[in-house]
Structures are given as C-alpha cells and as structure tokens.
Amino acid sequence: MPEPPARTAGPGDRLVRIGALVFIAGAVATLVTVAPLFLGTDPFPTVAYALSMLMAVGFVIAGAGLFRSIAAQRRQARSASTAVSPDGPSAT
C-alpha cells in the first residue's frame, strides 16, 4: 500500500504549535499555583501567578496561527477560482 504524501507545514502551523506549548506551560503553572490552596500550604510568590498568564498568551498565539492559516487557504482558494475560466467548462 503506498504511503500518503508528506504534508508540508502551512503558514500558521508553527504558531499553533508554539501556542500549544506556551498554553501547556501556563496550565502547569496554574496547577502549581492553585495546589497550595488545596494543600493548606503557603501560597507561591506573585511571579508564579504571573506565569499562569502564559495560558492566555498561548491561546492568543495559537489563535493568530489559526487565522494566518485561514487567510492563506482563502488566498489559495481565491487564486484557484480566478484561474478557472469565468464561463465555466466548455460544452464541446
């Protein structure tokens, strides 16, 4: 059985991956900062809570990658539709 062709990375794929990694780092930081509340220990310093904001930053980065990918696909579809004859297929 032949292998499917390798998919090349699109314009926004790298941003989506980076955004996912940053989001995961923020999620871990959030879990770490919330844990002392449940364990009854002293809370972490403010810097730890600031790291929790990485979730939002990662979400925005991934969203930017998604919109960049959408824009590239629209440009590609638009150029493909203008390359087709406006009269449609010929009836010969």
pTM for this model (two decimals): 0.73
Environment class of residue 44 by beta-carbon count within 10 Å: exposed (0-12), middle (13-18) or buried (19+)?
middle
Spatial separation of the C-alpha atoms in residues 15 and 60, rounded to whole Å? 10
Are 66 and 12 in contact by the 8 Å Cβ rule? The answer is yes
The encoded tokens of residue 50 equal 């600031």
Whether the per-residue pLDDT at 88 is higher than 60: the answer is no
What is residue 21's predicted lDDT score, i.e. its pLDDT? 96
Mean pLDDT value of segment 45-70: 92
Whether the per-residue pLDDT at 55 is higher than 80: the answer is yes
Q: Please tell me which residue, 7 or 25, carries the higher pLDDT value.
A: 25
What is residue 86's predicted lDDT score, i.e. its pLDDT? 60
Mean pLDDT value of segment 60-77: 91
